[in-house]
């Protein structure tokens, strides 16, 4: 089913030794997962509610301190290998994945931490740019590894802030905190209800009782660029500017659907901001309803809220795409499917669907075939087992 492979630790170690010259320093291994968001999309940067869980795929990092003031980055996923001097690590490296670890190094430097060189080999099995947080897994695994190897003993939440700041300040994507937080704090078998304003979070056991969470990847060439995402951030802050003086709210995540109905006239000249605000208010209300529905075993209700979330992301927030809508339509036509929606930043990437376990293989066959017939694209499918957050792996091997 899942075509995503995983290299054995021994094989990774071998690769590490092929890429980098041998030295007497120990190599350490770390892992951070990707995540799938079940509901609560595009609400995080407005201080709203989200409900993600970690997935069983992620990024492994093999890392070794070098003390030579050189920073070497390699990946088993890409050919490019970079070797940078200390003076080069505070500048972006083209439009490359290396900017994620560099952004994290930059945050440590800004906090006054002395760095003196690392060899890093990344190996990821989260599909890139698919809305499953491959970038947050790279950032968080890097921050966690640096903290351990440099003995900075930063709280996990601070590492989350470092990872988010790497993305905001270095990569230039004004993302919220959901991905980095989920990747760091996830617990196996649970999804996490997170208030992105207070950062209070609660683990919610996912008793799926014969149901499965299936992620379907459109494999659409991703149209998301930072600017489309950042546009949504600006549109939401325009909505807040209009509402804050009349409602006394400090972030859009506080807005209720009813308050928005009452204040809709404030948006006279800005229908786009009104649509965005409507999505945010309704989506937060959906998360508030979805979590208790899940806890009470009302999976039908949870699925309907997933459907409503997608429709709002498509029509009001305008972050879906033709292939995404198609995949969602096909999913909803399959027997027993309770809900299906885009997950992550949209503009391509993945959907998440809730269905009976017994129907998964039929779903994959039928949706896969119909999707290819309609779009000419081939979808990939992964069944999600919610996993744990960032951690050290048992591979401390002196070489």
Across 110-187, the runs of DSSP E, i.e. the strands, are 118-124
Number of H helices and E strands in the chain, helices first, is 11, 13
State CA 90 to chain mean position distance: 24
> Considering only residues 294-353, where is the footprint of ligand GLA by CB under 6 A?
344-345
List Cβ neighbours of 214 (8 Å cut-off, separation of 6 or more): 352, 353, 354, 355, 360, 363, 364, 381, 382, 383, 384
Q: Are 346 and 324 in contact (CB under 8 A)?
A: yes
- Least distance from ligand GLA to the Cβ atom of residue 350, Å: 11
Which CB atom, from 175 or from 316, has the smaller least distance to ligand GLA?
A: 175
> Considering only residues 175-204, where is the footprint of ligand GLA by CB under 6 A?
175-176, 178-179
Residue 342 DSSP class: E
Which of the stretches 88-96, 174-182, 255-263, 363-371 binds ligand GLA when contact is defined by CB under 6 A? 174-182
Element (H, E) at 175: none
179 among known catalytic residues: yes
- Beta strand 339-343 pairing with 380-383: unpaired
| Coil, helix or strand at residue 190 | strand
Query: Considering the rule CB under 6 A, would residue 267 count as an interface residue with ligand GLA?
Result: no
- Least distance from ligand GLA to the Cβ atom of residue 174, Å: 9
Which CB atom, from 37 or from 125, has the smaller least distance to ligand GLA?
A: 37
Region class of 40: left (phi > 0), else alpha (psi between -120 and 50), else beta: left
- Least distance from ligand GLA to the Cβ atom of residue 38, Å: 11
Indicate which residue of 68, 179, 282, 315 is catalytic. 179
Nearest to 376 by CA among 218, 224, 214: 218
Q: Are 342 and 320 in contact (CB under 8 A)?
A: yes
Which of the stretches 35-43, 83-91, 107-115, 369-377 binds ligand GLA when contact is defined by CB under 6 A? 35-43
> Considering only residues 38-57, where is the footprint of ligand GLA by CB under 6 A?
41-42, 44-45
Q: Are 214 and 363 in contact (CB under 8 A)?
A: yes
Which CB atom, from 179 or from 235, has the smaller least distance to ligand GLA?
A: 179
Which CB atom, from 30 or from 45, has the smaller least distance to ligand GLA?
A: 45
- Least distance from ligand GLA to the Cβ atom of residue 305, Å: 15
Which CB atom, from 62 or from 290, has the smaller least distance to ligand GLA?
A: 290
Q: Kindly list the catalytic residues.
A: 179
Binding site for ligand GLA (CB under 6 A): 37, 41-42, 44-45, 175-176, 178-179, 344-345
């Amino acid at each position: 089913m899942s075509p995503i492979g995983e290299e054995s630790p021994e094989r990774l170690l071998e690769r590490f030794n092929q890429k980098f010259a041998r030295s007497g320093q120990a190599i350490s291994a770390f892992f951070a997962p990707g995540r799938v968001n079940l509901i609560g999309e595009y609400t995080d940067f407005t201080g709203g509610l989200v409900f993600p869980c970690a997935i069983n795929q992620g990024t492994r990092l093999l890392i070794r301190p070098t003390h030579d003031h050189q920073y070497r980055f390699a990946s088993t996923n890409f050919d490019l290998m970079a070797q940078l001097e200390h003076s080069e690590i505070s500048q972006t490296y083209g439009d490359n994945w290396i900017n994620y670890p560099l952004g994290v190094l930059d945050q440590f430097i800004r906090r006054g931490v002395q760095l003196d060189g690392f060899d890093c080999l990344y190996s990821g099995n989260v599909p890139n740019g698919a809305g499953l947080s491959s970038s947050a897994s790279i950032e968080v695994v890097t921050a966690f590894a640096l903290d351990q190897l440099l003995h900075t003993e930063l709280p996990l939440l601070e590492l989350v802030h470092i990872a988010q700041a790497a993305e905001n300040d270095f990569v230039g994507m004004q993302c919220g905190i959901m991905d980095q937080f989920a990747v760091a704090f996830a617990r196996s078998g649970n999804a996490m209800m997170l208030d992105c304003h207070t950062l209070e979070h609660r683990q919610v056991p996912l008793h799926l009782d014969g149901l499965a969470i299936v992620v379907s990847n459109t494999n659409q060439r991703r149209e998301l660029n930072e600017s489309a995402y950042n546009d949504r951030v600006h549109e939401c802050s325009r909505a807040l500017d209009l509402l804050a003086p009349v409602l006394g709210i400090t972030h859009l995540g506080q807005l209720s659907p009813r308050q928005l109905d009452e204040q809709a006239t404030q948006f006279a000249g800005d229908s786009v901001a009104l649509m965005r605000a409507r999505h945010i208010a309704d989506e937060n209300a959906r998360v508030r309803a979805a979590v208790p529905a899940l806890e009470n075993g009302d999976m039908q209700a949870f699925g309907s809220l997933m459907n409503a979330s997608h429709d709002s992301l498509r029509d009001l927030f305008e972050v879906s795409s033709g292939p995404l809508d198609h995949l969602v339509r096909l999913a909803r036509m399959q027997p027993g499917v309770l809900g299906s929606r885009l997950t992550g930043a949209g503009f391509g990437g993945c959907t998440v669907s809730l269905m009976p376990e017994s129907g998964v293989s039929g779903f994959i066959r039928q949706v896969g075939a119909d999707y290819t017939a309609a779009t000419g694209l081939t979808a990939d499918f992964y069944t999600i087992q919610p996993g744990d957050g960032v951690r050290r792996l048992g591979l401390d091997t002196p070489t």
